[in-house]
Every structure is written in C-alpha cells, then in structure tokens.
Structure 1
Amino acid sequence: MREASTPDDRPDRWEELVTAALLGTDRRAPVGGAPGREAPVALLDAAAMAAVRRRAGLRPAPAARRVEPAAEDARPALPEAAARRLALLLADRPGTGGGRRGTSPDLMELLPQWLATANAHGYAAPPQTLPALLDAARGRTDLRPAALAFAGPRALWLARLNPDWRFALRAAPGGGAALPDLQDTGEVQRLWQEGLFAERVALLGAVRADRPAVARELLEATWATERAEDRLMFLDSLRTGLSAEDEPFLERALSDRSRNVRSTAAELLSALPDSALAARMAVRAAACVALDRTLETPTIAVEAPLECDPRMERDGVVAKPPTGRGERSWWLGQLMEAAPLGTWPGRLGGRTPEEIVTLPVADGWQGELHAAWCRAAVRQRDATWSRALLGAPSALEAGGPGAVSLADRAKLLSVLDTRERAEWVAGFIATHGLSEAFQLLGVCAVPWAAPLGRAVVDALDIARDAGSYPWSFSGVMGLAERCLDPAEAARLEGLLAVPDEREDASPGAGGYWAEAFQRLMTTLRLRAAMAGELDVS
C-alpha cells in the first residue's frame, strides 16, 4: 500500500511558504514549522528545506539516447607551437576603450589570416580549442567559413549539442549532413528527390562542381515542380562551370513565372557572349548607340529606348526603374550591360576599347554609358575592356576615363590577374596618394606584391612628413598590418623615430606616426613567426 504523503512532500508546499512570507508570519503561520520556535525562524527553516528538495529533485523520465561519439578528424595535428599561438589569438579580445591602440598587434585581426594559412596546410583543430573557436565565429560572420573549415566535423558535432553554436549547422552544406558518394547515381537521385532543401542545395552545388551536366540534368528533372524561391536558389548554382551547354535550359527559364528567376537566367545568358540572348541584346543596344561623324570630332550619339516591350522583359529587362531613376536611362543601362562587349569595335568605326572610352558622348550620356560598360566588363570578365575603363593609374583624373566610382574601379580591378592588379593600384597610389585608395587595396591579393607594399609605405611616410592629420590614415595602417608582406618589416626601421613636428602639423602627430609604424613592424614580425610555426615541412 502506498504511504500517505507528509505535509512537506506536497507539490503546493513551496507556494504556501511564499504566501506566508509575503503576508507575514503574524497573519499566516508557516505550516510544518518546528514546534516551539519563533514563526519567522520556522518559516526560514522550512523554506531552506523546501529549496533543497526543489534543487535535488528529479522527475522520472524516459532514458535519453546516448550521444554518438564525434566523427574522427583524419587531418594531421597542429604543430605544438602553432597550437599555443592559436590559443593566444582566441584569448585576445578587442579593447573597449577609445584612444590609441599602442604598439601591440591586434591579435583578433590576425586570426583570419592564421586560419587561412592553417587550412592551406590541411591541419586539424586541437579539440580543446573548438569551444573558443566556435564562440569567435559566432561573434564574427567573416570568420565563419575559415573557422568552420578548420574546426572540421567535431565542430558540427558540438553545434548539435549547444544552441549557441547552431549557426555552424546553418553555414555547413546541407545543415552539416553528409553528402553521398557523387559517383553513386542511385543515392544522388534519392537525396535529390527526397532530401531537405538545404541538403538538395548542397548536393546540387557539389555535383555542379564535379559534373556540371549531371547537375543541370538533376535540376531539369524536377524544375516544373519546384517552388519559385527554390528555383531561384537552384538556378544560382549554374554560375559554377557556366557554359554554352547550359543555354537551352536557361533559354527556357526566360519564360518562368517568377520575375527573379527570369532575371537570373537572363544574367547568366548574357555572361555567355555567343548565346542567342546576347545576340538579341546586341541588336537592341546597337540600335541605341552609334557614331556621329557629322561633327568635327567623332562623337558617340545615344538614343535610349522609347519603351520596354514584352520581348525585352522576357529577356530580363526590368521595366520599372528604381525611385529617382528615369525610365529610358534605366532601360538603356540594362541593354548595354547585357550586350557582348565585342559588339562595339565594329559598331564604332573599328576602334579599340581604349579608343572607344576616350570618345566624347553627346547629350550627357557618358556617365550612363561608361557605367554600363563597367558592369558588362565585370559580368563578362573582359580584361581588355576593364583596362580601358580603368585607364592609366597615373592619369591626372583619379576617376579614369570610364569608371565613375571607386566601387566601379574596384570591380574592374577584380577582373585583372593579381600581379597586374597590384601594379595598377601601386601606380594609382604613387599619383593620387592614399586618400582614395582604401577600397582599391581591398581587392588586392594578400600578401601585397612588393611594388604595392613599397607604394603604401612610401605614401604613409609622405603623409607623415607632410604633417597630415594622423587619424585619417588609421584604416590604411590597419590594412597594411594584415596585408603587407612580412619581408617589408626591415624597411620600417627608419620610420620609428619621432620626427620634429612642423608648425602646421596636427598636435602629437609625430608620436602617433612613430607608434603606428612600430606597431606595423611588430605585427609583420609576428605574422612571419606565425607562418613559420605553421610551416614545419
């Protein structure tokens, strides 16, 4: 027979004690208190006993399934010195105060570069560093790809156990699910037909990188039954390995119900200069742009489209312009950026791209025309037109003959190879200084090539000697700490002394510059040491 519960075992015992405490023991005597004791003391004793019961008690529940062990990481272990360095990098936290940073390197800003180097060597993360590594990646989205690649399968195992790290599952292909052997046709088909959306996206991307035609066939097989937002995401995977073989499928996608799908299909087709869509756009764009030879100087004449007809819309031209933008200029820009750049030498008198971008353009259309050519050069990855639109880096006008903004120039530079990109930016800095170069430096390969590194250091030295306001160069100095070749450290020793301040210099500028150059040199030497710790071959 089940024994009757005592008063102290009742579920509502805690609520009675709370009520007695709120009302006061002179109005509500505590239940179950020891006889003969003062009521307040009895209440506290009873509350202490009830609190222990509440903390120690555990309701019966079905046994949970034992957690499966983490997958093994077969990559080689990190060298001991590099493991110690990683622990230091992860323990560093950005300062919360303002003012000068001093001469100490910013370790957290070196972590992305350290991770990239460690991944290049193929090392596995030490298990004890995974929690700190995941915490760092949670706080900085820019760290996530490299951090998760370095952390490996154990990070995903941990992320399934800790809600704070669930971002790792979202960032991993297929939510961290393992993909089948891509040569196993049956398993690939099963996952494509039955998998979750994230798994299907990951599968399509992996197959596309390995066998582009097979990925396209998977997509074609289920295209008619996919949701519009899913079709858009799947279509984006065709950017990898895009070729003329994709044209028939993309041409059919131009008739899709979704405007976003149609626009994406048109963009992909316009990146294929020999596609039928590119030819149609060439005809339309050529009808808008011609060479006017009646003037003393040959001039480009522009007649923007008068309407956006249904055939243009099918080919990806968006009819409604953004707020504040004229319809005709909006339509013209879309036609020009989608037309093959090979259209223009023949259309404009056999001139080269360099000659075309220097031609005057009538009626104020030059900015619109050149901006569209910039977008076309980036989309079609055309280095010749990119060079023409960038112009000579030593040109007196920082904007060049065609690029209308720093963002345009940065995008055009991304089309060039790394060596040419660095040399162009070095020439730009030598002529125009650093005030407009920050965005251009961001597209240059790290570590910076020697000519670019020398140009940056020389420009900083010139700014110091000129008594320039020191804080305005802090962004470039921070970028130099991360991007300069560590071999440049020796060149900085002559810049560490505090110079005599000019009368027109900013107060304290000399001390700041000496401190900044000292920090730069220290950081470069630290980066060299980090690289040596990782390269033990």
Structure 2
Amino acid sequence: MNSWNQLLQNALIGTEKKPPEPASLTSDEDLSPVLQAISANPSLDAEEQLLQASALLFNYRQAGQTALEVTEIESSIAEPETLPYCTAASKDTLRELFEYQALGLFYYWIQLCAAKARIAPPEMVPLLLQLAAKNQELRDPIRVITGKRGEWLAQLNPDWQESTTLSLEDSWQQGSTNQRVAALRQQRVENPESSRVWLTESWSKEAAAVKQQLLEAFDTALSHADLPFLESCQKDKSQKVQQQVLELLRQIPESALVKAYEQVVRPSLVIRKEKTLLGLSSKFSWEVKSPVEIDPDWRKQGLATVSNTKEFTDDEFILFQLLQWVPPTLLNEVSGLGTIEIVQSMQKEKLKHWLPAIAAAAKRFRNQDWILTLAEQADLFLPDLLEALPPAKQDAYAKTWFTGKEEFFLPVFVNRETEWPVPLARQIMNFTAANPYQYTKSFYQQLMHLLPLEAASWLDQFEEIQPLFDLKKRIQQSFNA
C-alpha cells in the first residue's frame, strides 16, 4: 500500500519538513472520506494528523489480511492413565507447596506420591512440568508422578521436553550439555565401555568447557581400561582439561603416573615394628630417607618441593603429597602390618600429622577398609573421609566431630536423600539458627524434607519455618490416610 509507505516517509523525514496530507493519501472510496475529515479538522496539528492517519491505515491493513490456512494439523490425545490419582487431601497440600515454593517439600511430596503408586491430578501437571524445567534435580521424580498426561504435554512444549526421559543414547546424541553430562554419568555406571566409546568418538568436536564437564562425569567406575583414552588427552590444548585428566589418572592404581609415585615412595619410606631392648614391648618406626628424588615434570603438575609447615622437612613434605596419590594399601605392603595396627601405632608414636594424606588417598582410591578404619580409629578430624563414608557412618562421625566443624558437615548433610537422625537435626538447626544472616528462610525451604517429624517437640523456637514443618506433617498425613 503506497499510502502506508508515504506515511512512513513523513514520519522519518519529520512533519516540519514534510507535513502530512491525509486527504491525498488514497482515492479508496472507503478510506478517502475519513482521511479528508482528518485533513479538514482545524483542531489537529500536523503530528496528530500523522498519528490518526497512521492508526487508520494500520488497522485497515490488518483487517484486510487473510489468516493463514493450515490444512495439515497433527493432533493427538494422551493415553489413558494406568495409575490412580492422589487423594484430594494430597492435592490440597500440593497446591500449598506452589505458594511456598519449598523445593525440599516438593521432593518430599513427590517421593510419597511415587511410593504410593499414585499420580498428580491433571490440572497440576503443567505446573509440575514447569517446575521440572526450572529444577533439574526434580525432572526424573516429576516424570514418574505426572503419568501419561505428563508425557503427552511435554511433547507439545519445547521447554518441558527436557523433563521427559529420553534414552541415554538419544540424550547423548541430541541433548543439551546438561543432558549429555547426565547421560554419560549414567552410562558410566551401566556400561563403562560404551561410555568410553561415546567420549572417544566425540572428543575432538567438544569445546574445552564441555570437555571439563564431561570429564567430571567420567570419574565414575574408573578402571585401567580407561587409561588409553585418558593418556591420549594429556596434551589437550586446554590446561584446565589437562589438569582434570591428571586428576583422573591419579585415581587409577594401574596408571603409569601412580606407578611412578609408588617407585619413589617405596624406597623413601621405611615402616616397621620392632621389639624393644628387653622384648617386652614393640616400637613402631616411620623413617623418611633423604633425599627424595622426583621427576622434574611433577613440579609442573603441582607438586611442591618446599615445606610450608614446621611439621615436615622438605623431603617429608614431598612424601606427604605423594602419599595422597598412591593407594593406601602400599603402607600395608611396605610394613607388613594391618590397617588398624598402622593407624593406632602412628597415633601412639605421634605420627598422626601424616594421617590427612592417607585419608585423602583412601578417598581417592575408594578404599573402604582404610576409610572406615580412619573414621573409627583416628583421634583427629579428617574432612576427606566425610563424603566417602556411607550415611550411617557419616552420622556416627558427626556425633564425634560436628561441633566446631559444622562448615565441613553441612554441605554433605544438606545433600542427603534421607532424613537426619533427631540428635543431628537438632545440632544442625541450633547451629543455623545461631547464624541467621547466613542461613535464611530460603535455606530451610530447600531442606525441610530432611527434618524428621520427631523434631516437633523442640521446633517451637523456629517460628519462621513452623508453617513449613506443619505442611510437611500434613503431606505425610494426606498420603497415609
């Protein structure tokens, strides 16, 4: 329409240089009378004439367009549900959860719903899918309780499709970076060899940042079979990737790097238990032979050669670091002693400043014998053991060491899937309540599912979170009814 283009030119040039002339825009018998009326109105200045003419022509153009006709529309309906819906009381508590936005309690509700083999009511499914799209940790649990309608709806909205379950192969080939990382991690558990093939084939095409994330997922189920691939990655262009590959190689006892560390530790460390002069007792001997010779490249890989503490000479400090990178069973081999005997003897002979290095090695090589022995026998706190301990042993360790070491325990316990024991829950709540600026209401919203219902007897002092705790009780009651 030339009249519309003319108005645009008027607007671009400016009404002062090119005054609008609405009456001359068109001879259309429908538009012309109205445009002439705009031109003839003495109360309108040039700008108002331009705007009124523009509004008229714009709406005229819109009204004259024909809607696009779509002839091939694929329609479908959701398959019938195979599970019953949750109760009305459970639905009411779910509605309340969307008011509070307490992720911990969402997880609790979903767990109970799945345990009862029920699904969410239809009208709540879109809200749950939206929640899953924003919170990756809830995606798989929500998929379970949204049923067939959830599967169907997720296909219609790209934002929700990531919350549906693709095969691991499809997630790896087509998914987002987060999906690919998750798929690789799961495949490492189910089929380590296949996961290694995936990564080997795609490695040269991956960006450095993505390589880092994929290597983080690759540390599950590491074995000597992974060595050829990891060794081929040692000269990657990214230094951060090189460092991650190095850390993975340090977790495989058969790697050439770990074997090289062992070759230095074996002759440098002498451990034995000898009878005293009269043979009535024995003495534990721990001797570091100097000098400790190392590969020059190890300095580039982060090995410090100068001690940063009075507890170690330079050679002892080198050995302290190397002990973190060799399997702790090497100490059993060198000494011929059992794990408990070594730990008890080291403490007796005031050698416990070496224990943090051994704890780090026990965690690195996932040696449960050493992990449990150190947790039960060592008379100093060893942070490296925390994540490596099973939940029941973590609780026992916290009973001994929690006070004064809260900053080490909290990151581990807030990521638990099971409720805290009552004594530990009370310790955690008392500590966080004493630091209200660091642990705000949102902190409790994330972990309310971990707080045992037995806490009701002493939770009155926590007024801000009392409504959340009451909601948790109602959720449980709604599913037990």
**TM-score higher than 0.5:** yes
Output aligned runs, 1:228-239, within 5 Å: 239=219
Alpha-carbon contact 2:271-2:284 (below 8 Å) kept: no
Alpha-carbon contact 1:300-1:361 (below 8 Å) kept: no
Alpha-carbon contact 1:423-1:451 (below 8 Å) kept: no
TM-aligned CA deviation for residue 387 of structure 1: 4.0
User: What is the CA RMSD across the aligned residues, in angstroms?
Assistant: 5.2
1:447–1:148: structure 2 CA closer, same or farther, 3 Å change rule?
same
Q: Which residue of 2 aligns with 1:76?
A: 83
* 2:100 aligns with one of 80, 83, 92: 92
Task: Provide the C-alpha distance between the structure 2 equivalents of 1:196 and 1:114, rounded to a whole number of angstroms.
Answer: 28
1:250 corresponds to 2:227: yes
Alpha-carbon contact 1:76-1:123 (below 8 Å) kept: yes
1:488–1:57: structure 2 CA closer, same or farther, 3 Å change rule?
farther
Q: Which residue of 1 aligns with 2:385?
A: 412
* 1:376 aligns with one of 358, 361, 373: 361
1:428 corresponds to 2:398: no
Task: Provide the C-alpha distance between the structure 1 equivalents of 2:103 and 2:165, rounded to a whole number of angstroms.
Answer: 30
TM-aligned CA deviation for residue 40 of structure 1: 1.0
Task: Provide the C-alpha distance between the structure 1 equivalents of 2:466 and 2:40, rounded to a whole number of angstroms.
Answer: 78
Alpha-carbon contact 1:148-1:155 (below 8 Å) kept: no
Task: Provide the C-alpha distance between the structure 2 equivalents of 1:58 and 1:386, rounded to a whole number of angstroms.
Answer: 75
Alpha-carbon contact 1:291-1:299 (below 8 Å) kept: yes
Q: Percent identity?
A: 17
Q: Which residue of 1 aligns with 2:32?
A: none
Alpha-carbon contact 1:337-1:376 (below 8 Å) kept: yes
SS in 2 for 1:338: coil
Q: Which residue of 1 aligns with 2:10?
A: 16
Q: Which residue of 2 aligns with 1:531?
A: 476
* 2:450 aligns with one of 463, 483, 490: 483
Structure 2 residues without counterparts, runs of 5 or longer? 24-34, 275-282, 309-313
TM-aligned CA deviation for residue 49 of structure 1: 1.5
Alpha-carbon contact 1:481-1:524 (below 8 Å) kept: yes
Q: Which residue of 2 aligns with 1:505?
A: none
1:260–1:454: structure 2 CA closer, same or farther, 3 Å change rule?
closer
Alpha-carbon contact 1:290-1:347 (below 8 Å) kept: yes
1:446 corresponds to 2:449: no
TM-aligned CA deviation for residue 178 of structure 1: 4.0
TM-aligned CA deviation for residue 136 of structure 1: 4.3
SS in 2 for 1:335: helix
Q: Which residue of 1 aligns with 2:44?
A: 40
1:283 corresponds to 2:276: no
Alpha-carbon contact 1:115-1:147 (below 8 Å) kept: yes
TM-aligned CA deviation for residue 486 of structure 1: 0.9
Alpha-carbon contact 1:269-1:275 (below 8 Å) kept: yes
- Between stretches 470-479 and 438-447, larger displacement belongs to 470-479
Task: Tell me the alpha carbon deviations over residues 282-322 of structure 1, each in whole angstroms, 9 at most, x when there is no partner.
Answer: 3333344444999x984554868554356x6xxxx962569
Alpha-carbon contact 1:425-1:441 (below 8 Å) kept: no
1:304–1:529: structure 2 CA closer, same or farther, 3 Å change rule?
farther
Task: Provide the C-alpha distance between the structure 2 equivalents of 1:73 and 1:261, rounded to a whole number of angstroms.
Answer: 49
SS in 1 for 2:324: helix
Task: Provide the C-alpha distance between the structure 2 equivalents of 1:223 and 1:481, rounded to a whole number of angstroms.
Answer: 41
Q: Which residue of 2 aligns with 1:96?
A: none
Output aligned runs, 1:388-407, within 5 Å: 388-390=373-375, 401=380, 403=382
Q: Which residue of 1 aligns with 2:31?
A: none
Letter in 2 for 1:110: L
Alpha-carbon contact 1:307-1:328 (below 8 Å) kept: no
TM-aligned CA deviation for residue 455 of structure 1: 5.4
1:325–1:81: structure 2 CA closer, same or farther, 3 Å change rule?
farther
Alpha-carbon contact 2:323-2:358 (below 8 Å) kept: yes
Structure 1 residues without counterparts, runs of 5 or longer? 94-106, 181-187, 497-512
* 2:343 aligns with one of 342, 354, 362: 354
* 1:308 aligns with one of 264, 286, 295: 295
SS in 1 for 2:90: helix
1:387–1:208: structure 2 CA closer, same or farther, 3 Å change rule?
closer
Q: Which residue of 2 aligns with 1:102?
A: none
TM-aligned CA deviation for residue 527 of structure 1: 1.1
Larger relative contact order (CA 8 Å, sep ≥ 6): 2
TM-aligned CA deviation for residue 380 of structure 1: 2.5
TM-aligned CA deviation for residue 87 of structure 1: 2.4
1:525–1:286: structure 2 CA closer, same or farther, 3 Å change rule?
farther
Alpha-carbon contact 2:104-2:448 (below 8 Å) kept: no
1:77–1:290: structure 2 CA closer, same or farther, 3 Å change rule?
farther
Output aligned runs, 1:44-443, within 5 Å: 45-53=52-60, 56=63, 58=65, 63=70, 66=73, 69=76, 72=79, 76=83, 78-79=85-86, 80-92=88-100, 107=102, 109-121=104-116, 123-136=118-131, 143=138, 146-147=141-142, 152-154=150-152, 156-160=154-158, 165=159, 178-179=166-167, 208-216=188-196, 222=201, 239-242=219-222, 246-251=223-228, 253-256=230-233, 257-258=235-236, 267-268=247-248, 271=251, 273=253, 278-291=258-271, 298-299=285-286, 301=288, 306-309=293-296, 319-320=301-302, 335-348=322-335, 350=337, 352=340, 353-355=342-344, 358=347, 369-390=354-375, 401=380, 403=382, 408=383, 411-429=384-402, 438-439=410-411, 441-442=413-414
Task: Provide the C-alpha distance between the structure 1 equivalents of 2:84 and 2:103, rounded to a whole number of angstroms.
Answer: 22
Task: Tell me the alpha carbon deviations over residues 498-531 of structure 1, each in whole angstroms, 9 at most, x when there is no partner.
Answer: xxxxxxxxxxxxxxx4xx1x55555334212212
Alpha-carbon contact 1:118-1:534 (below 8 Å) kept: yes
Task: Provide the C-alpha distance between the structure 2 equivalents of 1:77 and 1:24, rounded to a whole number of angstroms.
Answer: 73
Alpha-carbon contact 2:212-2:240 (below 8 Å) kept: yes
SS in 1 for 2:295: coil
Task: Provide the C-alpha distance between the structure 1 equivalents of 2:408 and 2:181, rounded to a whole number of angstroms.
Answer: 40
